[in-house]
Structure 1
Amino acid sequence: MAQSSNVTPLFNDLAKVEHDHNIACQDCALYRLCLPLGLHRNDLAELDEIIQRSQSFPRGHALFNTDTSFHSIFVVRSGSFKTTVQAVDGREHVTGFYFPGEFIGMDAIYAKAYKSTAKSLESSTVCELPFEKLQEFSATMPQLQIQLMSRLSRELSGDKSLMFLLGKKTAEEKLATFLLSISKRFQDRGFSAADFQLTMSRGDIANHLGLAVETISRLFTRFQDDGLIYTKNKAISLRDAERLKQLCG
Protein backbone atom coordinates (compact mmCIF):
# COMPACT_ATOMS: atom_id res chain seq x y z
CA MET A 1 0.00 0.00 0.00
CA ALA A 2 2.82 2.40 0.80
CA GLN A 3 4.00 2.33 -2.81
CA SER A 4 1.18 4.65 -3.81
CA SER A 5 2.29 7.49 -1.54
CA ASN A 6 4.03 9.33 -4.36
CA VAL A 7 0.93 9.57 -6.54
CA THR A 8 -0.78 12.60 -5.04
CA PRO A 9 2.28 14.91 -4.93
CA LEU A 10 3.00 14.16 -8.58
CA PHE A 11 -0.44 15.20 -9.61
CA ASN A 12 -0.42 18.24 -7.37
CA ASP A 13 2.67 19.35 -9.28
CA LEU A 14 0.75 18.99 -12.54
CA ALA A 15 -2.18 20.98 -11.20
CA LYS A 16 0.25 23.83 -10.43
CA VAL A 17 1.83 23.92 -13.90
CA GLU A 18 2.17 27.57 -14.86
CA HIS A 19 -0.59 28.67 -12.45
CA ASP A 20 0.61 32.24 -12.85
CA HIS A 21 -1.75 33.36 -15.62
CA ASN A 22 0.52 36.23 -16.64
CA ILE A 23 3.52 34.10 -17.64
CA ALA A 24 4.51 34.57 -21.30
CA CYS A 25 4.42 31.76 -23.87
CA GLN A 26 8.19 31.74 -24.28
CA ASP A 27 8.62 31.11 -20.53
CA CYS A 28 5.82 28.55 -20.20
CA ALA A 29 6.67 24.97 -19.22
CA LEU A 30 4.06 23.78 -21.75
CA TYR A 31 5.81 25.52 -24.64
CA ARG A 32 6.89 22.30 -26.40
CA LEU A 33 3.35 20.90 -26.26
CA CYS A 34 1.51 23.98 -27.35
CA LEU A 35 0.71 25.97 -30.49
CA PRO A 36 3.72 28.37 -30.58
CA LEU A 37 6.25 25.53 -30.93
CA GLY A 38 8.83 26.45 -33.57
CA LEU A 39 7.88 30.10 -33.96
CA HIS A 40 10.57 32.76 -34.08
CA ARG A 41 10.92 34.83 -30.93
CA ASN A 42 9.43 37.98 -32.53
CA ASP A 43 6.46 36.02 -33.88
CA LEU A 44 5.97 34.44 -30.49
CA ALA A 45 5.93 37.85 -28.83
CA GLU A 46 3.25 39.05 -31.27
CA LEU A 47 1.12 35.95 -30.74
CA ASP A 48 1.51 36.38 -27.00
CA GLU A 49 -0.24 39.74 -27.28
CA ILE A 50 -3.55 38.19 -28.40
CA ILE A 51 -3.64 35.28 -25.95
CA GLN A 52 -6.02 35.79 -23.04
CA ARG A 53 -5.09 33.89 -19.90
CA SER A 54 -7.89 32.97 -17.53
CA GLN A 55 -8.13 33.09 -13.80
CA SER A 56 -8.91 29.76 -12.16
CA PHE A 57 -12.18 28.04 -13.09
CA PRO A 58 -13.68 26.06 -10.18
CA ARG A 59 -14.61 22.40 -10.62
CA GLY A 60 -17.73 21.98 -12.77
CA HIS A 61 -17.44 25.39 -14.45
CA ALA A 62 -18.55 25.46 -18.10
CA LEU A 63 -15.86 26.89 -20.35
CA PHE A 64 -18.37 26.90 -23.22
CA ASN A 65 -21.49 25.06 -24.36
CA THR A 66 -23.50 24.65 -27.56
CA ASP A 67 -25.29 27.96 -26.88
CA THR A 68 -22.01 29.88 -26.63
CA SER A 69 -21.15 31.85 -29.77
CA PHE A 70 -17.91 30.64 -31.31
CA HIS A 71 -15.07 33.08 -30.91
CA SER A 72 -12.04 31.25 -29.57
CA ILE A 73 -10.24 27.98 -29.18
CA PHE A 74 -8.62 27.16 -25.86
CA VAL A 75 -5.49 25.49 -24.52
CA VAL A 76 -5.57 23.90 -21.06
CA ARG A 77 -2.99 25.65 -18.93
CA SER A 78 -3.51 23.79 -15.67
CA GLY A 79 -6.06 21.29 -14.38
CA SER A 80 -8.29 19.26 -16.68
CA PHE A 81 -11.58 19.38 -18.59
CA LYS A 82 -14.14 17.04 -20.10
CA THR A 83 -16.37 17.61 -23.15
CA THR A 84 -19.88 16.23 -23.51
CA VAL A 85 -22.55 16.17 -26.21
CA GLN A 86 -26.26 15.73 -25.64
CA ALA A 87 -28.37 13.24 -27.57
CA VAL A 88 -31.93 14.03 -28.69
CA ASP A 89 -33.28 12.02 -25.76
CA GLY A 90 -31.37 14.24 -23.33
CA ARG A 91 -28.62 11.76 -22.45
CA GLU A 92 -25.08 13.11 -22.28
CA HIS A 93 -22.06 11.40 -23.78
CA VAL A 94 -18.53 12.20 -22.63
CA THR A 95 -16.51 12.76 -25.80
CA GLY A 96 -13.09 13.59 -24.38
CA PHE A 97 -10.79 14.56 -21.53
CA TYR A 98 -8.21 17.33 -21.81
CA PHE A 99 -4.99 17.99 -19.89
CA PRO A 100 -2.37 20.80 -19.88
CA GLY A 101 -1.08 21.67 -23.34
CA GLU A 102 -4.15 20.21 -25.12
CA PHE A 103 -6.63 22.17 -27.23
CA ILE A 104 -10.37 22.41 -26.62
CA GLY A 105 -12.88 23.61 -29.21
CA MET A 106 -11.02 22.69 -32.40
CA ASP A 107 -14.12 20.92 -33.73
CA ALA A 108 -15.96 24.26 -33.72
CA ILE A 109 -13.81 25.80 -36.46
CA TYR A 110 -15.65 24.39 -39.49
CA ALA A 111 -19.23 25.18 -38.42
CA LYS A 112 -18.22 28.27 -36.40
CA ALA A 113 -20.17 26.80 -33.50
CA TYR A 114 -19.23 24.78 -30.44
CA LYS A 115 -20.43 21.21 -30.81
CA SER A 116 -20.06 20.23 -27.16
CA THR A 117 -20.01 21.49 -23.60
CA ALA A 118 -16.61 21.77 -21.90
CA LYS A 119 -16.47 21.66 -18.10
CA SER A 120 -13.55 21.75 -15.67
CA LEU A 121 -12.91 18.54 -13.72
CA GLU A 122 -10.98 20.44 -11.05
CA SER A 123 -9.71 23.95 -10.46
CA SER A 124 -8.30 24.79 -13.91
CA THR A 125 -6.99 27.58 -16.12
CA VAL A 126 -6.85 28.04 -19.89
CA CYS A 127 -5.21 30.16 -22.54
CA GLU A 128 -7.83 31.61 -24.88
CA LEU A 129 -6.91 32.18 -28.53
CA PRO A 130 -9.40 34.44 -30.38
CA PHE A 131 -9.89 32.64 -33.68
CA GLU A 132 -10.16 35.68 -35.97
CA LYS A 133 -6.88 37.04 -34.62
CA LEU A 134 -5.35 33.60 -34.95
CA GLN A 135 -6.34 33.49 -38.63
CA GLU A 136 -4.75 36.88 -39.24
CA PHE A 137 -1.50 35.73 -37.68
CA SER A 138 -1.56 32.46 -39.60
CA ALA A 139 -1.54 34.34 -42.91
CA THR A 140 1.91 35.75 -42.15
CA MET A 141 3.30 32.90 -40.02
CA PRO A 142 3.66 29.66 -41.98
CA GLN A 143 4.83 27.78 -38.88
CA LEU A 144 1.61 28.72 -37.11
CA GLN A 145 -0.42 27.28 -39.99
CA ILE A 146 1.57 24.06 -39.75
CA GLN A 147 0.84 23.84 -36.05
CA LEU A 148 -2.89 24.36 -36.60
CA MET A 149 -2.97 21.68 -39.28
CA SER A 150 -1.09 19.32 -36.99
CA ARG A 151 -3.58 19.91 -34.20
CA LEU A 152 -6.55 19.33 -36.51
CA SER A 153 -4.95 16.13 -37.77
CA ARG A 154 -4.49 14.94 -34.20
CA GLU A 155 -8.18 15.64 -33.50
CA LEU A 156 -9.22 13.51 -36.48
CA SER A 157 -6.86 10.72 -35.46
CA GLY A 158 -8.25 10.76 -31.94
CA ASP A 159 -11.83 10.57 -33.23
CA LYS A 160 -11.01 7.52 -35.36
CA SER A 161 -9.25 5.82 -32.47
CA LEU A 162 -12.26 6.41 -30.23
CA MET A 163 -14.63 4.97 -32.83
CA PHE A 164 -12.50 1.82 -33.02
CA LEU A 165 -12.25 1.63 -29.24
CA LEU A 166 -16.01 1.85 -28.76
CA GLY A 167 -16.94 -0.43 -31.61
CA LYS A 168 -14.43 -3.27 -31.65
CA LYS A 169 -12.90 -3.79 -28.22
CA THR A 170 -14.17 -5.73 -25.21
CA ALA A 171 -14.85 -3.93 -21.92
CA GLU A 172 -11.52 -5.16 -20.52
CA GLU A 173 -9.64 -3.95 -23.61
CA LYS A 174 -11.38 -0.57 -23.46
CA LEU A 175 -10.34 0.15 -19.88
CA ALA A 176 -6.76 -1.07 -20.41
CA THR A 177 -6.45 1.10 -23.52
CA PHE A 178 -7.91 4.10 -21.71
CA LEU A 179 -5.51 3.81 -18.77
CA LEU A 180 -2.47 3.47 -21.03
CA SER A 181 -3.62 6.44 -23.11
CA ILE A 182 -3.87 8.65 -20.02
CA SER A 183 -0.49 7.32 -18.87
CA LYS A 184 1.12 8.32 -22.18
CA ARG A 185 -0.35 11.82 -22.01
CA PHE A 186 1.06 12.34 -18.51
CA GLN A 187 4.43 11.04 -19.66
CA ASP A 188 4.40 13.52 -22.57
CA ARG A 189 4.07 16.29 -20.00
CA GLY A 190 7.14 15.19 -18.09
CA PHE A 191 5.32 13.43 -15.28
CA SER A 192 5.18 9.85 -14.13
CA ALA A 193 3.61 7.41 -16.56
CA ALA A 194 2.94 5.00 -13.69
CA ASP A 195 1.57 7.21 -10.90
CA PHE A 196 -1.12 9.81 -11.52
CA GLN A 197 -4.67 10.82 -10.67
CA LEU A 198 -7.83 10.26 -12.66
CA THR A 199 -9.66 13.56 -12.16
CA MET A 200 -12.75 12.25 -13.96
CA SER A 201 -15.33 10.14 -12.14
CA ARG A 202 -15.87 6.43 -12.74
CA GLY A 203 -19.21 7.44 -14.25
CA ASP A 204 -17.45 9.72 -16.75
CA ILE A 205 -15.02 6.96 -17.69
CA ALA A 206 -17.87 4.48 -18.15
CA ASN A 207 -19.85 6.96 -20.24
CA HIS A 208 -16.82 7.78 -22.40
CA LEU A 209 -16.09 4.10 -23.07
CA GLY A 210 -19.73 3.15 -23.65
CA LEU A 211 -19.89 0.88 -20.60
CA ALA A 212 -21.99 0.62 -17.45
CA VAL A 213 -20.60 2.16 -14.27
CA GLU A 214 -20.92 -1.24 -12.60
CA THR A 215 -18.74 -2.77 -15.33
CA ILE A 216 -16.04 -0.15 -14.87
CA SER A 217 -16.06 -0.58 -11.09
CA ARG A 218 -15.83 -4.36 -11.46
CA LEU A 219 -12.93 -4.05 -13.91
CA PHE A 220 -11.01 -1.65 -11.65
CA THR A 221 -11.41 -4.16 -8.83
CA ARG A 222 -10.32 -7.06 -11.03
CA PHE A 223 -7.29 -5.16 -12.38
CA GLN A 224 -6.24 -4.35 -8.82
CA ASP A 225 -6.77 -7.92 -7.60
CA ASP A 226 -4.66 -9.15 -10.54
CA GLY A 227 -1.81 -6.80 -9.62
CA LEU A 228 -2.14 -4.65 -12.74
CA ILE A 229 -3.00 -1.43 -10.91
CA TYR A 230 -3.39 0.02 -7.45
CA THR A 231 -6.08 2.63 -6.78
CA LYS A 232 -6.97 4.81 -3.83
CA ASN A 233 -9.72 7.35 -4.38
CA LYS A 234 -8.66 9.10 -7.60
CA ALA A 235 -4.99 8.16 -7.34
CA ILE A 236 -3.83 5.26 -9.48
CA SER A 237 -0.56 3.38 -9.97
CA LEU A 238 0.04 1.20 -13.01
CA ARG A 239 1.84 -1.80 -11.52
CA ASP A 240 2.17 -3.90 -14.68
CA ALA A 241 2.03 -1.82 -17.85
CA GLU A 242 3.20 -4.71 -20.02
CA ARG A 243 0.27 -6.88 -19.03
CA LEU A 244 -2.07 -3.95 -19.59
CA LYS A 245 -0.67 -3.61 -23.09
CA GLN A 246 -1.38 -7.28 -23.71
CA LEU A 247 -4.95 -6.71 -22.57
CA CYS A 248 -5.45 -3.93 -25.14
CA GLY A 249 -5.99 -6.45 -27.92
Structure 2
Amino acid sequence: MNSASPCVCRTQRCLAEEPLEVECDACGLDPICQVLDYAEAGSGVPEGVLLRRLPVARGETLFQANGVFSSIFAVKSGSFKTYIPSTGKGDRVIGFHQPGELIGVEAVASGSYPCTARALEPSSVCELWISRLPEAGRPNEVVQQALIQLLGSEVAFSHIVATTLIQQNGEQRLAAFLLNISHRRSERGLPESEFCLQMSRGDIANYLGLASETVSRLLTRFQNQGLITLRRKQVLLRDHAGLMSIIEPN
Protein backbone atom coordinates (compact mmCIF):
# COMPACT_ATOMS: atom_id res chain seq x y z
CA MET A 1 0.00 0.00 0.00
CA ASN A 2 1.17 3.50 -0.79
CA SER A 3 0.55 6.60 1.29
CA ALA A 4 -0.18 9.22 -1.35
CA SER A 5 -1.27 11.93 1.06
CA PRO A 6 -1.23 12.58 4.81
CA CYS A 7 -4.03 11.01 6.79
CA VAL A 8 -6.74 13.56 7.48
CA CYS A 9 -8.64 13.02 10.72
CA ARG A 10 -12.33 12.31 10.31
CA THR A 11 -14.32 15.47 11.07
CA GLN A 12 -17.65 13.77 11.46
CA ARG A 13 -18.70 10.27 12.38
CA CYS A 14 -21.64 8.10 11.48
CA LEU A 15 -23.96 6.75 14.13
CA ALA A 16 -21.86 3.61 14.51
CA GLU A 17 -18.67 4.05 16.52
CA GLU A 18 -16.56 1.97 14.14
CA PRO A 19 -17.05 0.77 10.55
CA LEU A 20 -18.82 -2.59 10.36
CA GLU A 21 -16.78 -5.62 9.39
CA VAL A 22 -18.19 -7.99 6.80
CA GLU A 23 -18.36 -11.67 7.76
CA CYS A 24 -15.83 -13.84 5.93
CA ASP A 25 -18.49 -16.04 4.30
CA ALA A 26 -20.13 -12.94 2.79
CA CYS A 27 -16.88 -11.57 1.36
CA GLY A 28 -15.90 -11.79 -2.30
CA LEU A 29 -12.49 -13.20 -1.38
CA ASP A 30 -13.91 -16.12 0.60
CA PRO A 31 -13.64 -18.83 -2.11
CA ILE A 32 -9.85 -18.61 -2.06
CA CYS A 33 -9.65 -17.94 1.68
CA GLN A 34 -11.43 -21.23 2.31
CA VAL A 35 -8.84 -23.09 0.22
CA LEU A 36 -6.08 -21.38 2.22
CA ASP A 37 -7.85 -22.14 5.52
CA TYR A 38 -7.85 -18.39 6.11
CA ALA A 39 -4.07 -18.58 6.65
CA GLU A 40 -4.71 -19.52 10.26
CA ALA A 41 -1.99 -21.02 12.43
CA GLY A 42 -1.50 -24.62 11.36
CA SER A 43 -2.78 -24.04 7.84
CA GLY A 44 0.71 -24.37 6.40
CA VAL A 45 0.25 -21.23 4.31
CA PRO A 46 3.44 -19.13 4.40
CA GLU A 47 3.19 -15.70 5.96
CA GLY A 48 2.41 -13.01 3.41
CA VAL A 49 0.32 -15.03 0.94
CA LEU A 50 -2.91 -13.88 2.56
CA LEU A 51 -2.72 -10.80 4.78
CA ARG A 52 -5.81 -10.24 6.90
CA ARG A 53 -7.35 -7.11 8.40
CA LEU A 54 -4.65 -4.69 7.29
CA PRO A 55 -5.47 -1.20 8.59
CA VAL A 56 -5.74 1.53 5.97
CA ALA A 57 -5.82 5.20 6.97
CA ARG A 58 -8.24 7.64 5.43
CA GLY A 59 -6.67 9.00 2.24
CA GLU A 60 -4.19 6.12 1.92
CA THR A 61 -3.96 4.32 -1.42
CA LEU A 62 -3.92 0.57 -2.00
CA PHE A 63 -2.39 0.94 -5.46
CA GLN A 64 -1.83 3.55 -8.14
CA ALA A 65 -3.08 3.62 -11.72
CA ASN A 66 -0.67 1.85 -14.10
CA GLY A 67 1.11 0.18 -11.18
CA VAL A 68 2.28 -3.41 -11.67
CA PHE A 69 -0.37 -5.89 -10.51
CA SER A 70 0.49 -7.96 -7.47
CA SER A 71 -2.56 -8.36 -5.22
CA ILE A 72 -6.32 -8.48 -5.01
CA PHE A 73 -7.85 -6.68 -2.05
CA ALA A 74 -11.11 -7.31 -0.21
CA VAL A 75 -12.66 -4.53 1.86
CA LYS A 76 -13.10 -5.89 5.38
CA SER A 77 -14.41 -2.64 6.85
CA GLY A 78 -14.74 0.97 5.74
CA SER A 79 -14.99 2.10 2.13
CA PHE A 80 -12.88 3.06 -0.88
CA LYS A 81 -13.17 4.91 -4.14
CA THR A 82 -11.44 4.02 -7.40
CA TYR A 83 -10.61 6.68 -9.93
CA ILE A 84 -8.54 7.41 -13.00
CA PRO A 85 -6.19 10.34 -12.32
CA SER A 86 -6.09 13.10 -14.89
CA THR A 87 -4.08 16.30 -15.22
CA GLY A 88 -6.69 17.80 -17.53
CA LYS A 89 -10.34 17.92 -16.45
CA GLY A 90 -9.69 16.29 -13.10
CA ASP A 91 -9.88 12.74 -11.79
CA ARG A 92 -12.66 10.48 -13.07
CA VAL A 93 -14.36 8.45 -10.34
CA ILE A 94 -15.24 4.97 -11.58
CA GLY A 95 -16.41 3.18 -8.45
CA PHE A 96 -17.09 3.02 -4.72
CA HIS A 97 -16.36 -0.14 -2.75
CA GLN A 98 -18.17 -1.34 0.35
CA PRO A 99 -17.25 -4.07 2.88
CA GLY A 100 -17.01 -7.49 1.26
CA GLU A 101 -16.24 -6.13 -2.20
CA LEU A 102 -13.06 -6.78 -4.16
CA ILE A 103 -10.65 -4.17 -5.50
CA GLY A 104 -8.00 -4.75 -8.14
CA VAL A 105 -9.57 -7.74 -9.90
CA GLU A 106 -9.53 -5.94 -13.28
CA ALA A 107 -5.72 -6.04 -13.21
CA VAL A 108 -5.52 -9.84 -13.24
CA ALA A 109 -5.74 -10.01 -17.03
CA SER A 110 -3.80 -6.87 -17.96
CA GLY A 111 -1.01 -7.13 -15.39
CA SER A 112 -1.39 -3.51 -14.27
CA TYR A 113 -3.94 -1.61 -12.22
CA PRO A 114 -6.20 0.55 -14.44
CA CYS A 115 -7.05 2.97 -11.65
CA THR A 116 -6.08 4.25 -8.21
CA ALA A 117 -7.83 2.97 -5.07
CA ARG A 118 -8.05 5.28 -2.05
CA ALA A 119 -9.67 4.88 1.36
CA LEU A 120 -12.60 7.21 2.07
CA GLU A 121 -12.37 6.60 5.82
CA PRO A 122 -10.32 4.52 8.29
CA SER A 123 -10.71 1.05 6.83
CA SER A 124 -9.23 -2.44 6.75
CA VAL A 125 -8.57 -4.88 3.93
CA CYS A 126 -7.49 -8.45 3.33
CA GLU A 127 -4.78 -8.75 0.69
CA LEU A 128 -4.21 -11.81 -1.49
CA TRP A 129 -0.81 -11.95 -3.21
CA ILE A 130 -1.64 -13.75 -6.45
CA SER A 131 2.01 -14.36 -7.42
CA ARG A 132 2.63 -16.20 -4.14
CA LEU A 133 -0.33 -18.59 -4.37
CA PRO A 134 1.89 -21.48 -5.57
CA GLU A 135 3.68 -21.25 -2.20
CA ALA A 136 0.45 -22.10 -0.38
CA GLY A 137 0.98 -25.84 -0.86
CA ARG A 138 -2.50 -26.44 -2.27
CA PRO A 139 -3.19 -28.45 -5.44
CA ASN A 140 -3.12 -26.21 -8.51
CA GLU A 141 -6.51 -27.38 -9.72
CA VAL A 142 -8.11 -26.53 -6.35
CA VAL A 143 -6.58 -23.05 -6.32
CA GLN A 144 -7.55 -22.45 -9.95
CA GLN A 145 -11.13 -23.53 -9.33
CA ALA A 146 -11.37 -21.18 -6.36
CA LEU A 147 -10.01 -18.31 -8.47
CA ILE A 148 -12.50 -19.05 -11.24
CA GLN A 149 -15.33 -18.98 -8.71
CA LEU A 150 -14.01 -15.73 -7.24
CA LEU A 151 -13.67 -14.04 -10.63
CA GLY A 152 -17.03 -15.33 -11.84
CA SER A 153 -18.79 -13.96 -8.77
CA GLU A 154 -17.04 -10.62 -9.24
CA VAL A 155 -18.17 -10.37 -12.87
CA ALA A 156 -21.76 -11.09 -11.84
CA PHE A 157 -21.56 -8.55 -9.04
CA SER A 158 -20.09 -5.88 -11.32
CA HIS A 159 -22.93 -6.50 -13.78
CA ILE A 160 -25.43 -5.61 -11.04
CA VAL A 161 -23.61 -2.35 -10.43
CA ALA A 162 -23.45 -1.41 -14.10
CA THR A 163 -27.02 -2.27 -15.08
CA THR A 164 -28.70 -0.54 -12.14
CA LEU A 165 -26.92 2.77 -12.78
CA ILE A 166 -27.74 3.18 -16.47
CA GLN A 167 -30.60 5.65 -16.13
CA GLN A 168 -31.95 8.50 -18.21
CA ASN A 169 -31.83 11.59 -16.00
CA GLY A 170 -30.13 12.87 -12.86
CA GLU A 171 -33.01 12.02 -10.54
CA GLN A 172 -33.10 8.45 -11.80
CA ARG A 173 -29.33 8.08 -11.57
CA LEU A 174 -29.20 9.25 -7.96
CA ALA A 175 -32.16 7.08 -6.91
CA ALA A 176 -30.49 4.09 -8.60
CA PHE A 177 -27.20 4.93 -6.88
CA LEU A 178 -28.79 4.86 -3.41
CA LEU A 179 -30.71 1.65 -4.09
CA ASN A 180 -27.62 0.06 -5.61
CA ILE A 181 -25.59 0.67 -2.45
CA SER A 182 -28.48 -0.68 -0.39
CA HIS A 183 -28.70 -3.85 -2.49
CA ARG A 184 -24.94 -4.44 -2.41
CA ARG A 185 -24.88 -4.10 1.37
CA SER A 186 -27.80 -6.49 1.68
CA GLU A 187 -25.90 -9.05 -0.41
CA ARG A 188 -23.02 -8.83 2.08
CA GLY A 189 -25.19 -9.16 5.19
CA LEU A 190 -24.86 -5.50 6.17
CA PRO A 191 -27.60 -3.00 7.13
CA GLU A 192 -29.28 -2.03 3.86
CA SER A 193 -31.49 0.90 4.80
CA GLU A 194 -29.11 2.99 6.91
CA PHE A 195 -25.52 3.68 5.95
CA CYS A 196 -22.88 6.37 5.56
CA LEU A 197 -22.03 8.09 2.30
CA GLN A 198 -18.38 8.71 3.07
CA MET A 199 -17.69 9.94 -0.43
CA SER A 200 -18.10 13.67 -1.12
CA ARG A 201 -21.05 15.08 -3.04
CA GLY A 202 -18.51 16.00 -5.70
CA ASP A 203 -17.34 12.39 -6.02
CA ILE A 204 -20.94 11.16 -6.31
CA ALA A 205 -21.59 13.78 -8.99
CA ASN A 206 -18.41 12.82 -10.85
CA TYR A 207 -19.38 9.14 -10.78
CA LEU A 208 -22.94 9.79 -11.98
CA GLY A 209 -22.01 12.41 -14.57
CA LEU A 210 -23.84 15.19 -12.77
CA ALA A 211 -22.99 18.55 -11.21
CA SER A 212 -22.35 18.68 -7.44
CA GLU A 213 -25.16 21.21 -7.07
CA THR A 214 -27.53 18.80 -8.80
CA VAL A 215 -26.67 15.97 -6.37
CA SER A 216 -27.18 18.23 -3.35
CA ARG A 217 -30.47 19.56 -4.73
CA LEU A 218 -31.80 16.08 -5.49
CA LEU A 219 -30.85 14.72 -2.07
CA THR A 220 -32.75 17.60 -0.49
CA ARG A 221 -35.71 16.88 -2.77
CA PHE A 222 -35.69 13.20 -1.83
CA GLN A 223 -35.68 14.17 1.84
CA ASN A 224 -38.54 16.63 1.42
CA GLN A 225 -40.52 13.91 -0.34
CA GLY A 226 -40.00 11.55 2.60
CA LEU A 227 -37.93 9.10 0.56
CA ILE A 228 -34.77 9.46 2.66
CA THR A 229 -33.53 11.09 5.83
CA LEU A 230 -30.14 12.77 5.78
CA ARG A 231 -27.96 13.55 8.77
CA ARG A 232 -24.67 14.83 7.42
CA LYS A 233 -23.15 11.75 5.80
CA GLN A 234 -25.69 9.35 7.31
CA VAL A 235 -28.59 8.38 5.04
CA LEU A 236 -31.70 6.41 5.93
CA LEU A 237 -33.73 5.02 3.05
CA ARG A 238 -37.31 5.42 4.22
CA ASP A 239 -39.16 4.47 1.06
CA HIS A 240 -37.46 1.93 -1.20
CA ALA A 241 -40.58 1.60 -3.35
CA GLY A 242 -40.72 5.35 -3.80
CA LEU A 243 -37.15 5.48 -4.97
CA MET A 244 -37.80 2.56 -7.34
CA SER A 245 -40.79 4.41 -8.79
CA ILE A 246 -38.44 7.21 -9.81
CA ILE A 247 -36.26 4.74 -11.71
CA GLU A 248 -39.18 2.89 -13.26
CA PRO A 249 -42.13 5.32 -13.45
CA ASN A 250 -45.50 3.85 -14.37
Q: TM-score range by the shorter chain?
A: 0.7 to 0.9
Deviations 1:186-225, CA, capped at 9 Å, x for gaps: 2233332111111111111111111111111111011001
Equivalences for 1:23-34 in 2 at 5 Å?
Answer: 29-34=23-28
Q: Which residue of 2 aligns with 1:35?
A: 29
Contact 1:35 1:148 in 2 (8 A): no
CA positional deviation for 1:59:
1.0
Equivalences for 1:130-209 in 2 at 5 Å?
Answer: 130-134=129-133, 140=139, 142=141, 144-157=143-156, 168-209=167-208
Contact 1:35 1:147 in 2 (8 A): no
CA distance in 2, matches of 1:16, 1:244: 25
Deviations 1:27-63, CA, capped at 9 Å, x for gaps: xx32332323484685863558521236422211111
CA distance in 2, matches of 1:48, 1:177: 43
What SS class does the counterpart of residue 185 from structure 2 fall into? Answer: helix
CA distance in 2, matches of 1:248, 1:48: 49
CA distance in 1, matches of 2:144, 2:188: 23
Q: Calculate the TM-score normalised by the size of structure 1.
A: 0.79
Q: Which residue of 1 aligns with 2:117?
A: 118
Q: Which residue of 1 aligns with 2:222?
A: 223
CA distance in 1, matches of 2:36, 2:62: 30
One-letter amino acid of the structure 1 residue matched with residue 57 of structure 2: P
Q: Which residue of 2 aligns with 1:26?
A: none
CA positional deviation for 1:164:
5.2
One-letter amino acid of the structure 1 residue matched with residue 28 of structure 2: C
Report which stretch shifted further, 160-169 or 197-206. Answer: 160-169
**Do the aligned partners of residues 43 and 100 (structure 1) sit closer, same or farther apart at CA in structure 2, a change above 3 Å counting?**
closer
**Do the aligned partners of residues 43 and 121 (structure 1) sit closer, same or farther apart at CA in structure 2, a change above 3 Å counting?**
closer
Contact 1:230 1:239 in 2 (8 A): yes
Contact 1:166 1:210 in 2 (8 A): no
What SS class does the counterpart of residue 110 from structure 2 fall into? Answer: coil
Q: Which residue of 1 aligns with 2:99?
A: 100
**Do the aligned partners of residues 59 and 221 (structure 1) sit closer, same or farther apart at CA in structure 2, a change above 3 Å counting?**
same
CA distance in 2, matches of 1:128, 1:57: 12
Deviations 1:214-244, CA, capped at 9 Å, x for gaps: 1111110110010000101100000101111
**Do the aligned partners of residues 222 and 47 (structure 1) sit closer, same or farther apart at CA in structure 2, a change above 3 Å counting?**
farther
Structure 2: gaps of 5 or more residues: 1-12
**Do the aligned partners of residues 143 and 248 (structure 1) sit closer, same or farther apart at CA in structure 2, a change above 3 Å counting?**
farther
**Do the aligned partners of residues 33 and 167 (structure 1) sit closer, same or farther apart at CA in structure 2, a change above 3 Å counting?**
closer
**Do the aligned partners of residues 153 and 207 (structure 1) sit closer, same or farther apart at CA in structure 2, a change above 3 Å counting?**
farther
What SS class does the counterpart of residue 110 from structure 1 fall into? Answer: helix
Q: Which residue of 2 aligns with 1:71?
A: 70
Q: Which residue of 1 aligns with 2:234?
A: 235
Q: Give the helix-richer structure, 1 or 2.
A: 1
**Do the aligned partners of residues 163 and 127 (structure 1) sit closer, same or farther apart at CA in structure 2, a change above 3 Å counting?**
closer
Q: Which residue of 2 aligns with 1:17?
A: 21
